[in-house]
Structure 1
Amino acid sequence: MKLPKEILLSQLLTYNVKGNISLNYGNGENVWMHPPVHRILGWYTRPSNFDLQRNVWRLNQISQIIDNEIYVKGDPAISDLGTLNRFPTLIQANLININGSKIGVIADFLFDMKTGRIKYYLVSRSNPNIPGSSRWKLEIENINDQQPGLVFCESNSLDDLSLIKSSLKNEFLQKGKKIIGRFDDMKNIASNRLEHWLEEDEDINQNLDFEQKSFYNDERKSISFRDKNEDDPWI
């Protein structure tokens, strides 16, 4: 089976690793990377829950991926968890904004299977191990510095990043904001129509009052009793 061009680290770690003679090396546990150049070198697996040793693999040892299994060529390098924990990594590092405040945690990344070059990172708001949590895209160009356990970016908040995966909670909040926004729009339209109607009613009342005053203030010509008698043919 042809290897994918790009793959997420989280997906790579879910695969069960097998050798050429059907040896089972277990699932992936964590990544082996070179943070300064944003490149993954390999990963390591744990053969069993009772084994203290770890099998370290290079990316170029992957021969094929079939279903949920990775077939590797050659033998792994044997190490222990204490040594591997001293390897530098950006996974689980806190993301710091331009104001020096924590805005998230580096949870995952997408990388090129052939070169190991990381395309971009995925950021979680809090604990990345919570199932179904949201993921935001952090471009490599957005990172201006990095230290053990810390990644500094030029953004102010997660809202400045592209949302790649939305959690149910985040979708509910976004839909709630849209409903509130639509309600506010409807309220503003109704208020504007009411104000316009009141202004028209006030103009009508003013015109009516003006006409009534004009009717009572018109000067009328007074006709004398003599003129009335002369004009009356019956008198």
Structure 2
Amino acid sequence: MASPQAIARQGELLNRLVLDRETAEELGRVDQIWMVPELHRVMGIICTTGFLKGKKQMFTLVQIEAFGTDSIVVNSSHTSVNPEDIKPIDSLIGREVWSDAGSKIGKLTDYLFDPATGEITQYLFVARGWSSLTDGSYLLQPSMILGLGSKRVMISNNAAQEISIYTEGLRHKVAKVSSFLQSDYAQTKQDVKSWLGGIQAITSQAKEQLQTLSVQAKEQAQTVGEQLKDTTQTLAEQAQEKSQTLKETLKDRAQLLGEQVKDKTQALAEQAKANASDRAEPEIVVSVQPDTSVIAQPTHTTEVIVDVSPEKPSESAQ
């Protein structure tokens, strides 16, 4: 029996390569899917070999090991069924789909089935006429089928209202594109509006930030100005104090120096006066003449005459 795998589509299996599991030899390609319409079930496959598809082999679902993406692997060791021993293969593909209200809905084109059990899960059909090119394909549940004929299948009118789309046609794609363009236009318009709103919000934020920065800069400038003013005033006061201190210091030093100069001048004056006094005293030259008269001639203009004549004896001496 086939290994469990995803739902298979009948149309995709046609002409697929069939390989023998034991010999890995090619047994042919899928020509038909063997199904029983009344049971809505797949029973096996029929493959053909040769250019003219002369030789046919049938493999039941039990003999199928796997439905691969590139081939179908079968176990040919079991006795295969002779296609000539089975009645002609019947299929619902190509039959028209009608509603019990008398409306032609479309035509069956394919079906989906479970590879593990062979159960047909859904039929595919297209709308009638040229609309099949524009409407795509639709899904039809096997339980919706009320009757089977050689050319038609009948479904209820209520079931026809519940049919869902399987693949989108041109009309759906155009409608979808139109809807997308409309929604995209609306979205683009909304995006542009949001974008403009965002720009406006950003501009407002930038304006507020610039205003805030301007106020902060003004406050900082005012603060710096006040600090500079205080610093300048402090420096001026310090300079004035230092100038006053220096002035007083220079005044004290000048007064002290003046007193020292005065003292030194006075000392020098007194010394000069003393020196002058010493130089003003005359030098006395004493000369003794024979007449015992002593004439003293000063070296300068002062003239002193000293009488050194012998004294007369006193009366007492006599």
- TM-score, normalised on structure 1? 0.62
Please state how far the C-alpha of 1:91 moved relative to its aligned partner. Answer: 1.5
Cα RMSD of the aligned pairs, angstroms, is 3.5
Amino acid at match of 2:18: V
Question: What corresponds to 1:77 in structure 2?
Answer: 81
Match of 1:109 among 91, 111, 118: 111
Match of 2:137 among 118, 135, 138: 135
Please state how far the C-alpha of 1:153 moved relative to its aligned partner. Answer: 0.8
Please state how far the C-alpha of 1:98 moved relative to its aligned partner. Answer: 2.3
Amino acid at match of 2:83: S
Contact 1:93 1:149 in 2 (8 A): yes
Partner SS state of residue 60, structure 1: coil
Amino acid at match of 2:26: N
- Give the 3 Å change call, closer, same or farther, for CA 99–66 of structure 1 in structure 2: closer
Question: What corresponds to 1:53 in structure 2?
Answer: 55
Please state how far the C-alpha of 1:58 moved relative to its aligned partner. Answer: 0.9
Correspondence list, 1:1-235, <5 A: 2-19=3-20, 20-74=22-76, 75-79=79-83, 86-126=88-128, 134-155=136-157, 160-173=162-175, 175=177, 178=179
Partners of 2:101 and 2:133 lie apart in 1 by 29
Partners of 1:77 and 1:116 lie apart in 2 by 17
Please state how far the C-alpha of 1:23 moved relative to its aligned partner. Answer: 2.7
Partners of 1:165 and 1:158 lie apart in 2 by 17
Identity, % of aligned positions = 21
Instruction: Determine which structure has more spread, i.e. the larger CA radius of gyration.
Output: 2
Amino acid at match of 2:41: R
Partners of 1:3 and 1:31 lie apart in 2 by 18
Please state how far the C-alpha of 1:2 moved relative to its aligned partner. Answer: 5.0
Amino acid at match of 1:135: S
Partners of 2:86 and 2:172 lie apart in 1 by 35
Partner SS state of residue 115, structure 1: coil
Partner SS state of residue 88, structure 1: coil
Q: Which has the higher strand share?
A: 1
Higher relative contact order (CA 8 A, sep 6+): 1
- Give the 3 Å change call, closer, same or farther, for CA 141–11 of structure 1 in structure 2: same
Partners of 1:48 and 1:167 lie apart in 2 by 37
Partner SS state of residue 99, structure 1: coil
Partner SS state of residue 62, structure 2: helix
Question: What corresponds to 1:193 in structure 2?
Answer: none
Partners of 2:142 and 2:69 lie apart in 1 by 31
- Could you list the runs of 5+ residues in structure 2 that have no partner in the other structure? 184-318
Partners of 1:161 and 1:120 lie apart in 2 by 11
Please state how far the C-alpha of 1:169 moved relative to its aligned partner. Answer: 4.6
Give the number of equivalent residue pairs: 177
- Could you list the runs of 5+ residues in structure 1 that have no partner in the other structure? 183-235
Partner SS state of residue 86, structure 1: coil
Contact 1:27 1:46 in 2 (8 A): yes
Q: Which moved more, 1:142-151 or 1:2-11?
A: 2-11
Q: Which moved more, 1:95-104 or 1:31-40?
A: 95-104
- Give the 3 Å change call, closer, same or farther, for CA 112–67 of structure 1 in structure 2: closer
Contact 1:106 1:122 in 2 (8 A): yes
Partner SS state of residue 36, structure 1: coil
Partners of 1:63 and 1:104 lie apart in 2 by 35
Amino acid at match of 1:137: L
Partners of 1:132 and 1:70 lie apart in 2 by 33
Partners of 1:63 and 1:95 lie apart in 2 by 34
Partners of 1:57 and 1:172 lie apart in 2 by 44
Partner SS state of residue 83, structure 2: strand
Partners of 1:131 and 1:84 lie apart in 2 by 36
- TM-score, normalised on structure 2? 0.47
Q: Which has the higher helix share?
A: 2
Contact 1:53 1:79 in 2 (8 A): no
